[in-house]
Amino acid sequence: MRIEEDIKLGFKDVLIRPKRSTLKSRSQVDLIRRFSFKYSSSFWSGIPIIAANMDTIGTFSMVRSLSKFNILTAVHKYYSLQEWEKFINSSSKDVLNHIIVSMGISNADFLKIKKIFLLSSEIKYICIDVANGYSEHMVSFVKLVRNFFSDKIICAGNVVTGEMVEELILAGADIVKVGIGPGSVCTTRVKTGVGYPQLSAIIECSDAAHGLDGQIISDGGCTVSGDIAKAFGGGADFVMLGGMLSGHNECSGDIIEEKSKKYMLFYGMSSIVAMNRHSGEIAGYRASEGKVAKIPFRGSVDVTIRDILGGLRSSCTYVGAQKLKELTKRTTFIRVSEQENSIFNMFKE
Ligand code: 5GP
């Protein structure tokens, strides 16, 4: 047994220190980033925020709404080939440019994804996604997918430490997805005692990835737009959001009405609800590692996205970053023991 003594930080442990700036207004801030990749020869430019590949969030309807903002959606892996075909046939090139196709690491997933890419060559991104990216099988699977899709942008995860980021990049990933345990409907840390504070994971993993010309996605744990700014400030190239995008028209989930208020269910992908929905039951050897939450229904995701982007632009102006890309360079974190003054939260609608 070993103990690491240095302090690891989450979003709630820091604030970003303001810096002198020549920017006059947040409208001058450019949130678009232009990416080239380690293996794929594709380029992608857009706002590097990604709707999570959860079955409630990564929907075709989310793709349509978020692509208007130049934001990506990681489409969940439960759509049938027929549903993909219908969606692809009815979508413009621009919409398809904002899709990440998710897959697990089974042969069936691989077969299916090959068929999806036969339907369209416009889609650039693949996300190989497992809760625990530390297995040998994951590494060999990334190699297999890289060999077959030599020019796609491949994301793989989830991991939280630099050495595993390097291993996945060397195996063929362009981008590594980082986060174990920070998610809003995740109970991994409680159930297993395993995890890593997300901001430290970002700082350490982005350093490892950038050293090899790779990139990272910070996945999970953002609860407000300030957390997204901290993730980018810490070195994340992309930020993936689940909970912050839940409860909208574009999500999949029934709307429940209680005492004339509307709610929508949002659940973790390894919660009992998700496991019952997709595999019929929970296998005897595994426990649920996800929660179920009832979210007040919020209407169109457009309003939430505008709010997030406004917050992010404002973060950039506070530190004098004219481009989102400059945010990391201009970020100094200060460790704090307080965040929001919550005195009036009890009166909040
Ligand atoms: P959020 O933005 O809601 O904080 O985090 C979203 C992320 O939580 C997802 O992208 C995924 O990585 C993770 N996640 C989703 N469902 C589950 C679950 O059931 N268990 C765990 N451990 N993580 C989950």
Please give the distance, rounded to the nearest whole angstrom, from the Cα atom of residue 183 to the centre of ligand 1.
4
Please give the distance, rounded to the nearest whole angstrom, from the Cα atom of residue 219 to the centre of ligand 1.
8
Ligand 1: residue whose CA is nearest its atom 21: 186
155 carries an active-site annotation: no
**Domain assignment present for 134:** yes
Of 186, 205, 251, 316, the active-site residue reads 186
The strand pair at 333-335 and 14-16 is best described as antiparallel
Alpha-carbon distance of 31 to 195, in angstroms, equals 30
pLDDT in tens, 190-246: 999 999 999 999 999 999 999 999 999 999 999 999 999 999 999 999 999 999 999
| Least-confidence region, from 35-44, 178-187, 277-286 | 277-286
**Domain assignment present for 344:** no
Place of tokens 């050897």: 285
**Domain assignment present for 55:** yes
Q: Which domain holds residue 259?
A: 14-338
Burial class (CB in 10 A: 0-12, 13-18, 19+), 341: exposed
Alpha-carbon distance of 271 to 185, in angstroms, equals 8
**Domain assignment present for 196:** yes
Report the atom number in ligand 1 closest to the C-alpha of 129: 12
pLDDT in tens, 31-54: 999 999 999 999 999 999 999 999
* Count of domains observed in the chain: 1
Q: Tell me the pLDDT of the chain averaged across its residues.
A: 95
Give yes or no for a cis peptide into 132 (omega within 30° of 0): no
Please give the distance, rounded to the nearest whole angstrom, from the Cα atom of residue 268 to the centre of ligand 1.
6
CATH value at residue 300 = 3.20.20.70
**Domain assignment present for 245:** yes
Query: Ligand 1: residues whose CB is within 6 Å?
Result: 52, 54, 131, 158, 179, 183-186, 188, 219-222, 240-244, 268-271, 289-290
pLDDT in tens, 138-153: 999 999 999 999 999 9
Place of tokens 């992010």: 312
21 in a labelled binding site: no
**Domain assignment present for 347:** no
pTM exceeds cut of 0.95: yes
DSSP per-residue letters across 108-140: HHHHHHHHHHHH-S---EEEEE-S-TTSHHHHH
**Domain assignment present for 343:** no
**Domain assignment present for 345:** no
